Amino acid sequence: MDYLPNYLPEPYRIRVVEPVKRTTEQEREKYLLEAGYNPFLLDSDKVYIDLLTDSGTGSVTQAMQSAMLRGDEAYSGSRSYHELSRAVKDIFGYQFTIPTHQGRGAEQLYVPALINKRERESGLDRDKMTAISNYFFDTTQGHTQHNRCRVLNVSTPEAFNTEVVSDFKGNFDLEALALAIEEVGPSNVPYIVSTITCNSAGGQPVSIANLRSVYELAQYYGIPVVMDCARFAENAYFVKQREKEFANWSIQEITSEAFKYADIFSMSAKKDALVPIGGLLAFKDDSLLDVQLECKTLCVLLEGFPTYGGLEGGAMERLAVGLYEGMNEDWLASRVQQIEYLVSGLEALGIRCQQAGGHAAFIDAGALLPHIPSWQFPGHALSCELYKVAGIRGAEIGSLLQGCDMETGEQLPCPAEFLRLAIPRATYTQAHFDFIIAAFAEVKKRASSIVGLKFTYEPKVLRHFNAKLEPAL
Ligand code: F0G
């Protein structure tokens, strides 16, 4: 072939489309005011390109849609449940599966069950316990704290430095992990969470070598490891690209290797498993049988009977197919290159970003808007300006999301002020990416006149979802 563009053409055909509407800047100013300067509170028909999240917002495949028709809606022991647990065994090697309505549905089962087990066996008080992660996703952190256990992140030192390029910025700092376990005391650590890819650090991957070392350390201290694996396929894709040993392995082979290094996995299936709704909790074997049983009981209370969790039969069939479809290497490559294209386009404008990772571009709003202090939320101010300029919706991953200390009410320190532009799978085309870059050229021109924001209403927990703000003039 003679001619190749500087991007990968989309490796799929689009057969079902959803209309979107462009609005004027004047209209968007009004919508933003009505939404209390919080893009979370905008109606989707007021948004032209929606990059709030890649969770349940991407395209589904023909094979997934048709699988829904096979749904067995029996209340217990349905064929669709067995189909789903067969796929989980085949891909991940985990023997027991509980479907849930989404990722946090799995968290509300395993978090209390593991903390209860620790309390039961050690006789220690949960208020003294600390769970550890490379970086807790906010709902995982929320569930842990809600169960009166503290959280600690031990990310690699370069994780949040946008000037450093490194293959596995999602890794645990192994020394910090070992030190933390010793300091807290191993019996005060109810679990370790390996988050792949590491969402909060900018969708950065974790190497198999790092996962293996974490697991060896955890086994030495008798601490269970939970894989928080919303973006398991993307992590495997980066491992294949960057960890020499695995260069010739398939995505499925790398995935099954990665999952040897945990005891339980908790998955938001709305990401790499491509479904609009769904989650999974799975156990590698019977070594944590008491936890498994408690999760089943909690599932009946909170999600539904353990052979359907929060899902209808058709949705379990769709998920069983989506787990395989999400590992399609051409599709993984396509999305990663969309993110690389976007990041390099923004950097060419002089806008600093976290190195391209999976699922999103993370813009260093702190660097672009140095005149806005962290307590006036530069990432959020940038998000509002981007919406005003072009109708594009992103999400702040910074001090606003980080929140306050529950006891003192003080703002928690935040390692970076990012604006995340999450890329729904197979949803936007090359022209959209050029449009986003053009919008940023305009935003950059206005940068020095963008002002920070202050609360008019500040919810106590997970405040970024429902907060209302106004310009801090
Ligand atoms: N863990 C990780 C790493 C996640 O990214 C998410 C969700 C969850 C757990 C919770 O799963 O939403 O299905 O209940 N992340 C979404 C995001 C919301 O936008 O990154 P859920």
CATH code of 389's domain: 3.90.1150.10
Q: Left, alpha or beta for 226 (phi > 0: left; psi -120 to 50: alpha)? A: beta
pLDDT tens digits, 188-236: 999 999 999 999 999 999 999 999 999 999 999 999 999 999 999 999 9
- 292 is a domain residue: yes
pLDDT at 463 over 90: no
Same domain, 137 and 276: yes
**By residue range, what is the domain housing residue 341?**
25-54+329-471
pLDDT tens digits, 368-406: 999 999 999 999 999 999 999 999 999 999 999 988 877
How far is 194 from 312, CA to CA, in rounded Å? 29
- 305 is a domain residue: yes
pLDDT at 456 over 80: yes
49 Cα to the center of ligand 1, angstroms: 20
How far is 350 from 339, CA to CA, in rounded Å? 17
Same domain, 404 and 463: yes
Q: Which of 105-119, 303-317, 375-389, 408-422 has the lowest mean pLDDT?
A: 408-422
Nearest ligand 1 atom to the CA of 54 is: 19
pLDDT, position 2: 62
Catalytic, 271? Answer: yes
- The secondary structure element, H or E, covering residue 215 is helix 208-221
| Type of residue numbered 299 | C
pLDDT tens digits, 154-193: 999 999 999 999 999 999 999 999 999 999 999 999 999 9
Pairing of strands 360-364, 418-422: antiparallel
Same domain, 112 and 187: yes
- 407 is a domain residue: yes
pLDDT, position 403: 87
pLDDT tens digits, 50-88: 999 999 999 999 999 999 999 999 999 999 999 999 999
Catalytic, 422? Answer: no
124 Cα to the center of ligand 1, angstroms: 30
Same domain, 46 and 117: no
Closest CA to 87 of 67, 108, 57, 59: 67
DSSP string, 13-68: ---S--------HHHHHHHHHHTTT-GGGS-GGG-SEE-S--SS-SPPPHHHHHHG
Catalytic, 75? Answer: yes
pLDDT, position 69: 97
- 293 is a domain residue: yes
Here the CATH number for the domain that contains residue 307 is: 3.40.640.10
What are the beta bridge partners of residue 100? 279
CA dist list (Å): 41 to 44, 340, 469: 9, 29, 11
CB-based contacts of 330, cutoff 8 Å, min separation 6: 11
Same domain, 124 and 189: yes
281 Cα to the center of ligand 1, angstroms: 14
Ligand 1 site, residue 267, Cβ cutoff 6 A: no
DSSP string, 384-444: HHHHHHH-EE-EEESHHHH-B-TTT-PBPP-S--EEEEE--TTTS-HHHHHHHHHHHHHHH
Helix (H, G, I), strand (E, B) or coil at 239: helix
Residue that terminates a domain, selected from 326, 344, 371: 326
- 284 is a domain residue: yes
Provide the number of structural domains found in the chain.
Answer: 2
268 Cα to the center of ligand 1, angstroms: 6
Nearest ligand 1 atom to the CA of 279 is: 13
Same domain, 290 and 344: no
Ligand 1 site, residue 85, Cβ cutoff 6 A: no
DSSP string, 98-127: EEESSHHHHHHHHHHHHHHHHHHHH---GG
- The secondary structure element, H or E, covering residue 225 is strand 225-228
Same domain, 361 and 279: no
How far is 379 from 369, CA to CA, in rounded Å? 9
Same domain, 314 and 349: no
- The share of the chain scoring above pLDDT 90, in percent, equals 92
- 16 is a domain residue: no
pLDDT, position 288: 98
Same domain, 239 and 382: no
- 6 is a domain residue: no
Nearest ligand 1 atom to the CA of 359 is: 20
pLDDT at 281 over 70: yes
What is the chain's mean pLDDT, rounded?
96
pLDDT at 1 over 90: no
Residue that terminates a domain, selected from 326, 357, 390: 326
Average of pLDDT values for 32-41? 97
- 5 is a domain residue: no
Q: Supply the Cα-derived Rg of the chain in whole angstroms.
A: 22
Same domain, 336 and 321: no
Same domain, 166 and 200: yes
Catalytic, 416? Answer: no
340 Cα to the center of ligand 1, angstroms: 22
Helix (H, G, I), strand (E, B) or coil at 455: strand
Among the options 35, 106, 230, 320, which is catalytic? 230
Same domain, 376 and 412: yes
Residue that terminates a domain, selected from 301, 326, 351: 326
Average of pLDDT values for 92-101? 98
